[in-house]
Structure 1
Amino acid sequence: MSGGAATWRPMRADDLPAVAAMSDTVHGAFTEPLATYAERLALYPQGCHILESRGFEGEGTAIGYLVTHPWRLGAPPKLGAALGALPAEPDSYYLHDIALLPAARGQRAGEAAVALVRNLARAAGLPVIELVAVGGADAYWQRLGFAYAAPGADGPYGPGTFVMRRPVEA
């Protein structure tokens, strides 16, 4: 991406088609339907963000997204499943999904996203962030301070997926 900077901003309902398209592009077999993202946005809008590039003309282009929410530790939601509601007494902050298009890579957008997630978790009073790493991303998440919740065990989405956690204050 030349000529502009990328920044995280709150997600809006009109971003959802782009979010679903980015999910399809980036996640392949682990993509989720638009309805999943619409529900997460409705349930916890403060946890949903768009990475937007700004070119010289000031136009914004969505080049990534982030979906997070309070949750229960050790119980990642099923892929594509509706939540219905967030838990009344969450004990962790769940990084549900992040996708970055090639235009976003090399800009430390993932590091900025983790800083954002840490701030959101801190504001929610939750001590730990949990995620499910897919597609070989576990090595990347390790570099950002996440550790395997159950080393050597396959995660909830099958072989090669891993539940990972990191304390908010680390």
Structure 2
Amino acid sequence: MKIYTRTGDDGTTSLFAGGRVKKDDARVEAYGTVDELNSILGIVRAISKNAEINEIIQEIQNYLFHLGADLATPFEVENLKIKRIAKEDVEKIERWIDEIDLRLEPLKNFILPGGTLLASFLHLARTVCRRAERRIVYLSEREKINTQIIPFVNRLSDLLFVLARYANKIENVPDVKWTG
């Protein structure tokens, strides 16, 4: 199978359930940003030596493929091959946040992104996740989407923040407080 098809040379791309849209379409911007997030999480897994973090990140990466397919398939299309993001997925993210947050000192100040290389990439992933959330909200104002997507991405950015703090903690690198 060839990697290139030339079908996108006119500036359009295929949606998962069929049909073509411009490559700058709100839907493509949303799932493209999710793809960017997934790539950054690949870097996170490549540099992390922590098995627990790697396991969580790998599971998130799988969720992000489901999320991308969900976004690439108009909501009104019933495609049995698509696993849509569900409330249970949001709840799983919340459980991870709660479990990891219990191991951290309570946050009393804003902190600067950074610390270890791993924490820095987790902060980068968090900011790209927030951008994906903005793109998804923009899409949701124009087209009907799965109602669980925005809560899922919102919680995911919170999880990435907690994981960044946890990555610093396990390396004994303190969070740097914002002195603003």
Q: Say whether the fold is shared (TM-score over 0.5).
A: no
Higher strand share: 1
TM-score by length of 2: 0.27
Q: Which of 1 and 2 has higher RCO (CA within 8 Å, sep 6+)?
A: 2
Higher helix share: 2
TM-score by length of 1: 0.28
| Higher alpha-carbon Rg | 2
